[in-house]
Amino acid sequence: DAKTTQPTSMDCAEGRAANLPCNHSTISGNEYVYWYRQIHSQGPQYIIHGLKNNETNEMASLIITEDRKSSTLILPHATLRDTAVYYCIVLSIQGAQKLVFGQGTRLTINP
Amino acid sequence: EPEVTQTPSHQVTQMGQEVILRCVPISNHLYFYWYRQILGQKVEFLVSFYNNEISEKSEIFDDQFSVERPDGSNFTLKIRSTKLEDSAMYFCASSEIGYYGYTFGSGTRLTVV
């Protein structure tokens, strides 16, 4: 079972920042927080990951709380192409650890 | 940007027939995976493969399923005798060692009739 809790759906206006929350209260010390998204029926796409520090790349920012029990994915200027299901996954870096997908958050960007 | 390539994109097969789904992982990746997604449902893990052997498999991955890396570049998923409930999108993924993100292919839509 997935170790994370996410809202089922969210809406955001085009051009605004989309903030997607995730709770992972049982995360252990060697587990990272990963975010993936799935646009329609395409393969999941890696977005970003982090351990305890905030992270930023060309796609998004990841804010992890100090206690690591929750995180927020931020898409700073959402576009219509960001409409997708977003998955928050906790994962140990050791070995061939499988990704366990939950239901994710269905993010709809509105014009 | 390197890609994971899957073929075919769509496969229709008769129930009871064998199918082979093919994947070319990213060349320097060491871990390989198959996932599936039944229409409208979650993405489900099937199997992981490392160092030429299965490292983990799910309950879904029963005796009807097998994986192979026949030539050092391809990674295949075989379903020996397909059932209607095998109809799904099948995604191949690969990753480097460590904490780097997995890269997924665009999937093969398998339809069993």
Closest approach of chain A CAs to the CA of B104, in angstroms? 6
So what's the pLDDT on residue B100? 66
Please check whether residue B56 is in contact with residue B72, taking contact to mean a CB–CB distance below 8 angstroms: no
Question: What's the rounded Cα separation, in Å, for the pair A80 and A82?
Answer: 5
What is the tens place of the pLDDT at every residue in A71-105?
999 999 999 999 999 999 998 876 667 888 999 99
Residue predicted with more confidence, A74 or B2: A74
- In 3D space, the residue among A10, A18, A86 whose CA is nearest the CA of residue A48 turns out to be A86
Most confidently modeled of A52-56, A91-95, A105-109?
A105-109
Chain A CB contacts of B48 below 8 Å: 96, 98
Confidence of residue B1 (pLDDT cuts 50, 70, 90): confident
pLDDT for B13:
97
Quick one: which of B108, B22, B83, B58 has its CA closest to A101?
B58
Give the residue from A98, A100, A105 with the most B CB atoms within 10 Å of its CB, the best one to mutate. A98
In total, the C-beta contacts within 8 angstroms joining chain A to chain B are: 59
Q: How confident is the model at residue B70 (pLDDT cuts 50, 70, 90)?
A: confident
Q: Which residues is A84 bridged to in the sheet?
A: A107
Per-residue pLDDT band for B51 (boundaries 50, 70, 90) equals confident
CB contact under 8 A, A100 and B45: yes
Q: How confident is the model at residue A3 (pLDDT cuts 50, 70, 90)?
A: confident
Q: Which residue of A has its CA nearest to B48?
A: A96
Could you count the other beta carbons within 10 Å of the beta carbon of residue A97? Answer: 20
Average pLDDT of the residues of chain B: 93
Q: Enumerate the residues of chain A whose CB falls inside 8 A of the CB of residue B43.
A: 38, 44, 87, 99, 101
Whether residues B49 and A46 touch (CB distance < 8 A) is answered with no
